[in-house]
Amino acid sequence: MSQYPRKDGSATGRTIPHTRIEDERQIEDIYEFGEVLGKGSFGVVKEATNKETGCRWAIKAVNKEKAGTSAVKLLEREVLIMKKIHHKHLIHLEEIYETSKRMYLVMELCDAGGIQKLLEKTTRFSEKETWTVINQLAHAVAYLHDSDIVHRDLKLENILLSQPVGTELLNIKLTDFGLSYVKGGVGSDSMMQSVCGTPIYMAPEVILDLGYSQQCDIWSIGVIMFTLLTGRPPFVAETEEKLYELIKKGEVDFSDPCWETCHESAKNLLLGMLKVDPAYRRTAKEILNHPWITGDSDASETSNVLELMKMYSEELRQGSESQDGQEANNNINSEMEDGLAPSPGASSESPKEDVDRKQSNSAKASSTPKRAVPSSNRKTSNQTPSRRGNTTNQMAPPSPNARDAQSPSRSRDSPSSSSRSVPGYMQPTRSSGATKGPGTPRVRKSSDKKR
């Protein structure tokens, strides 16, 4: 139960009293201690009631002499972080008392137990209960990440329960900031190096010890979500070495019957959190905007920014290949129309060879001699169009054959070229016949005029 005003956001203006006392018995004059809630290597957590106000709290007493120098430094860092944060789903630090031997942290009492114990009783959570936990946890982690704080030890044991507010099924409180880290700098300067946390919740990049960022928390949220729905972690092995190999592969098993009734968007979100590459893993804010969290079934399932960039690059590449192919086809069609390239099935012989072959066939077909035709008039049926595509209006052969494919009658007048650049209302009316009628006027060349 909370005994102080609650609000999300910055802890600006919020002061945590830190009182140094000479005698440990002085704190017993302020609080009446009750049952033990938990024990650690060098500390104990007890329920306590403020004698003046009657409010119940949880007081964590740490023996600094037993803890040693390194542990005391971690404790001091935890205290500094807890002084900075103020969020409804993060455990609240009320005040601190300190002697030369011990430090007393007066914290919010979570009298509804913890997620771990509740899961042991129920075996697994329903999808609605899991949604409640993940939604609240994502809000808390997003707040921490916005404050440049990485928790680094997200697990079921560190998620406590307070009395639900309103219609909420559960009311979680994230605790234990002993391994938390405040980032400094940008880029590689903000990367963490030390391997820490609980093995089954560790992200692949933490195991590889190559430097990691706040995205290690997102992986842990994915492990928590899978465990709540199925009742077991996603990666389990007999030895720690084999466990690490499974984590580095990141292959998620969806054979459990619970996935048959869960929404597909739940799978999508889970896979987005358990991406082996942290660059493609969802962020805390992306989790909050996911359709499974928002409940917006009509919304598209969001992707990580780098995934969107990858998809966009792939679309650009495919579009470029398609455009290149279209341009190549257009160039081939243009060359065919200009007579620079043979059309499919057309003869590969040159115009001169074609003329000679035609003359030979004509001589064989007729036994009577004919008057020689001036060489200047031999181009009437096989004149090659100029580079600009201009053609002469001339008589076509009686039937389409290999020569017809190279004939000027298939040049710029064909719909394959002109219709692409000329509006439809400017297109000439085409007849259905393949040849011109006998009345087609013949353009006379200069050589004809001399005749």
Does 46 show up as a binding residue in the annotation? Answer: no
- DSSP-derived letter for residue 212 is B
At 137, which helix (H) or strand (E)?
helix 127-146
C-beta of residue 250 within 8 angstroms of C-beta of residue 272 = no
C-beta of residue 21 within 8 angstroms of C-beta of residue 27 = yes
Count of CB atoms situated within 10 Å of the CB of 205: 22
The dihedral sign for the CA sequence 295, 301, 306, 308: negative
- Token code pair at residue 37: 């809630």
Closest listed residue to residue 235, CA positions, set 292, 245, 388, 370: 245
Beta bridge partners of 95: 106
- Cα dihedral 152, 154, 158, 159 in deg (nearest 10): 140
Contacts of residue 389, Cβ cutoff 8 Å, sequence gap at least 6: 337, 338, 411, 412
C-beta of residue 109 within 8 angstroms of C-beta of residue 19 = no
The Cα 380–Cα 354 span in angstroms is: 13
Catalytic amino acids?
153
C-beta of residue 1 within 8 angstroms of C-beta of residue 111 = yes
**Annotated binding-site members for ATP:** 60
**Annotated binding-site members:** 60
